[in-house]
Each structure stands twice: as structure tokens, then as C-alpha cells.
């Protein structure tokens, strides 16, 4: 019978091992597919498989595996427009990381903080965004990527612009420029110049703005030899040039650059520029035309901004509500653990008391038994002595 038991035990162990290996392979495939979709900017529309992967790696995975699973689940929620859930998953991913381990995936830590910064920026939370970009730079340094470290420092410009701290913005742009030049990357050194040019124009520092415009157009790689933009994302740079020439009162140059902006690309700024130009020229008919266009564009933009504000407020409300719910659940879970822990301690104390009582009773019974046996032995000895004494008396 014993060999059969051992055989059944061995077969059960082998089946369990095969099941675990198969499950690990399946979860690894889920993570690999989600990672591929995320890297190729293909939106994820389902969270169920990634939820299973998170539950699996929380029990059986390394810290890096747990971190990646929660990060990708957060990316899925991001793609589905669920910002609060995405942020919670990113925070779970950071909590899963072991930054003291030699194999900690600092590159992934950078990605997590970058994603969180993007969500905080969209929800107009500059203070939280600041922290994320600072962590991004810190982990880029640990990862050994100097370019990404500088990039993270440069992206601090976005939250500081929201906070309207222009002095800090100018300082950051200057610092990142110096750091990129130390690496010999002159194109990236002027990457944030458009923002700096705009600030200098607003401050009336036109000579500085002109020098920066020359460097930007020469070194950035966004322009061809004739000064035409190669990167359509930078189209609003022409509006900055229009602002510059308006400040210089060179109206023909200002009009030349403002007309380079397509009317379907932020046309409110284009109409505002043209309105300013024709107002300076005292061209009443054209002023009236662009005033009407500017008014319509402003109304359209205001409607879009109101909708965006409502969405942001809703997302922010959902985020804070989700935070409160998470904190409430955490408190409830802690209270439940505390209750179960107290009950377990109480049960243990009861068991110890019962064990102590049992041992006392056992010792008492043992002492009574030994005393009984001792008395019985003494009585037996006395009876034997009496028997011997009677026999001796009878013989006499």
C-alpha cells in the first residue's frame, strides 16, 4: 500500500508542476502581447487578461514581473479613458518595485512615471506632474541614460508653465541647453527655444528673442535651407515670429508668417494676428472681417474649452473619488486584518489556557496516581509483613 501512496503523491506533484508551468507560460504570453501593443501605440480595449496576469504575478512573480503587469494594466485603463484606475495601477506598479535590487528595471520605472506625469498634466495637476518628472530623471540617471535624464528635467517646463513660474521655466531651459551641449547634441540643446523665444518677446527682450530664433532655425533640424518647416507639429512657431515682427512694427513680415499658419490649425491665433496687423494699418473693412472671424473662432474655442474643463473636472472628481474609495477600502481591509488578527490571538490565548489547564489536570492526576500506587505498595508491604509475623507466631 505504501508504494502506491508514494506513486500517487508523485503523480499529483508532476500534474501540479505541469499546470503551474503552463499557467506561467500563458501569463507571460499575455504580458508579451500587451507590451507589444503598448510599444506600437495600438490601444488596448480589454483588461480581463491583464487582471489575471496581475493576480498571478502578485503570487508567483518577481518584483519586476509584478511591476510590469500592473504597469501594462494601467496602460490598458489609460487607453480606455479610465484615468483614476490607470493612476492606481501605475502606483501599484511603483509599490511592487524593489529599487534596492541590483536587477531593478529602472527603464520601466521611467516609463511609469512618464505615464503618470502625462495623466496629471491632462488633469491640470502640475504639482503631482512635477514629482513624476523629477522621479523620471532620477531613474534615468540610475538606468544610465543621460539623454533621458536631461529630457525629464526639460519636461519640468510643462508644469511650471501651468504654475506660471516663468523664471523657473527660463532657468530650466538654460540648464538643459548646457547639459545637451556637453553631450554634443546641438539639436536637442535648442529643443525648447520656441517657449523661451515667446517668453522673451512677451518681456520685450527682442534682441535675445532674435538671436534664439536664428539658433533655433539653424540647429533644431525642423527647417530646410529656405526656412520652411519640416515638422508640421511646430507650425505655431510662425505665430511666435508674427508676434516678434509685430513688436518690431514690421507688419509685412508679421503678415507673411501669420499666413503660413493654415486656417484650420488653431485659426483663432491666426485671426487674432491678422486682426492686429490690419488694425495697425487702419484698414476698417478688413479689421471688421477678421474681428468677426476672430469672434467666431473664440466662441468655438470657448465651447471646446468648456467641454474640456467639464471633462477635466469629471476626471479630477473621479480621480479624487477613486482615491477616497481606495483609501476607504484600504482602511476596511486593515480593520478586517486587525479583527482577524485579534480573533486569532484570542483563539491562541484560549488554546494556551486550555493547554495549561490540561497540563495542570494531567499533573494532578499523575500525582494522585503515583500517590495511590505508593499507598497501595505500602499497604501491600504491610500486609506481607503481617502475614510473615502471623506465620512466625504460628510456628512458635
What is the pLDDT at residue 352? Answer: 80
Say whether 277 sits in a helix, a strand or coil.
Answer: helix
What is the pLDDT at residue 379? Answer: 73
pLDDT in tens, 327-358: 666 677 667 777 877 787 888 888 788 878 87
Enumerate residue ranges in the chain where pLDDT < 50.
1-2, 5, 7-8, 10-11, 13-19, 303, 310
Q: CB–CB of 151/191 below 8 Å? A: no
Neighbours of 347 (CB within 10 A): 10
CA distance 317 to 93: 23
pTM of the model: 0.67
Provide the residue count of the chain: 396
What is the pLDDT at residue 139? Answer: 95
What is the pLDDT at residue 320? Answer: 58
Q: Report all structural domains of the chain as residue ranges with CATH numbers, in order of start.
A: 13-100 (1.25.40)
Amino acid at each position: 500500500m505504501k508504494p502506491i501512496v508514494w506513486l500517487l503523491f508523485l503523480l499529483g506533484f508532476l500534474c501540479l508542476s505541469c499546470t503551474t508551468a503552463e499557467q506561467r507560460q500563458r501569463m507571460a504570453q499575455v504580458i508579451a502581447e500587451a507590451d507589444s501593443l503598448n510599444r506600437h501605440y495600438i490601444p488596448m480595449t480589454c483588461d480581463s487578461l491583464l487582471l489575471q496576469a496581475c493576480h498571478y504575478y502578485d503570487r508567483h512573480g518577481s518584483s519586476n514581473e509584478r511591476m510590469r503587469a500592473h504597469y501594462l494594466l494601467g496602460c490598458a485603463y489609460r487607453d480606455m479613458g479610465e484615468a483614476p484606475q490607470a493612476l492606481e495601477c501605475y502606483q501599484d506598479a511603483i509599490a511592487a518595485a524593489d529599487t534596492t535590487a541590483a536587477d531593478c528595471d529602472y527603464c520601466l520605472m521611467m516609463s511609469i512615471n512618464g505615464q503618470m506625469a502625462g495623466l496629471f498634466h491632462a488633469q491640470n495637476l502640475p504639482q503631482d506632474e512635477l514629482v513624476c518628472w523629477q522621479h523620471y530623471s532620477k531613474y534615468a540617471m540610475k538606468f544610465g541614460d543621460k539623454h533621458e535624464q536631461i529630457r525629464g528635467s526639460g519636461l519640468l517646463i510643462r508644469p511650471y508653465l501651468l504654475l506660471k513660474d516663468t523664471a523657473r521655466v527660463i532657468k530650466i531651459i538654460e540648464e538643459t541647453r548646457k547639459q545637451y551641449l556637453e553631450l554634443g547634441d546641438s539639436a536637442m540643446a535648442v529643443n525648447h527655444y520656441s517657449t523661451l523665444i515667446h517668453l522673451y518677446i512677451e518681456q520685450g527682450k527682442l534682441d535675445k528673442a532674435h538671436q534664439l530664433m536664428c539658433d533655433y532655425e539653424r540647429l533644431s533640424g525642423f527647417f530646410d535651407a529656405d526656412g520652411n518647416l519640416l515638422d508640421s507639429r511646430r507650425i505655431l512657431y510662425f505665430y511666435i515670429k508674427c508676434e516678434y515682427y509685430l513688436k518690431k512694427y514690421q507688419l509685412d513680415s508679421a503678415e507673411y508668417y501669420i499666413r503660413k499658419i493654415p486656417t484650420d490649425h488653431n485659426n483663432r491665433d491666426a485671426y487674432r494676428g491678422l486682426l492686429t496687423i490690419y488694425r495697425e494699418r487702419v484698414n476698417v473693412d478688413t479689421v471688421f472681417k477678421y474681428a468677426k472671424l476672430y469672434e467666431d473662432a473664440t466662441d468655438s474655442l470657448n465651447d471646446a474649452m468648456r467641454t474640456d474643463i467639464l471633462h477635466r473636472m469629471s476626471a479630477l472628481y473621479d480621480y479624487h473619488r477613486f482615491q477616497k474609495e481606495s483609501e476607504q477600502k484600504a482602511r476596511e481591509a486593515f480593520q478586517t486584518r486587525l479583527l482577524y488578527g485579534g480573533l486569532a490571538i484570542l483563539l491562541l490565548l484560549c488554546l494556551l489556557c486550555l493547554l495549561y489547564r490540561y497540563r495542570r489536570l494531567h499533573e494532578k492526576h499523575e500525582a494522585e496516581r503515583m500517590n495511590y500506587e505508593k499507598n497501595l505498595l505500602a499497604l501491600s508491604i504491610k500486609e506481607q509483613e503481617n502475614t510473615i509475623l502471623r506465620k512466625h507466631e504460628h510456628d512458635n
